[in-house]
Amino acid sequence: MNITLALAPLVSLIAGILILIIPRLLNYIVALYLIVIGLIGLFGAGNLHL
């Protein structure tokens, strides 16, 4: 099982709820998401052994 596939729906759900509660968080959540996806793309998710 790929950890990014299992984690993505949970992270998306939490982010969506936070954006509904506090819309100002949208910029920070999108920026954090892009940084994390970029780091996973650069270093590869195959190195995560959880």
Q: Give domain status of residue 29, yes or no.
A: yes
pLDDT band at 6 (very low <50, low <70, confident <90, very high): low
Return the higher-pLDDT residue of 12 and 49. 12
Residues 6+ apart with CB under 8 A from 29: 15, 18, 19
pLDDT digits (tens, 9 = 90+) for 8-46: 777 778 888 888 888 888 888 888 888 888 887 888 766
pLDDT band at 1 (very low <50, low <70, confident <90, very high): low
| Distance between CA atoms of residues 19 and 23, nearest Å | 5
pLDDT at 11: 78
Q: Give domain status of residue 37, yes or no.
A: yes
- Do the Cβ atoms of 50 and 3 come closer than 8 Å? yes
- Do the Cβ atoms of 19 and 25 come closer than 8 Å? yes
Q: Give domain status of residue 50, yes or no.
A: no
Full residue range of the structural domain in which residue 22 is found: 6-44
**Type of residue at 34:** L
Q: Give domain status of residue 19, yes or no.
A: yes
Q: Give domain status of residue 25, yes or no.
A: yes
Give percent above pLDDT 90 in the chain.
Answer: 0
What's the domain count of the chain?
A: 1
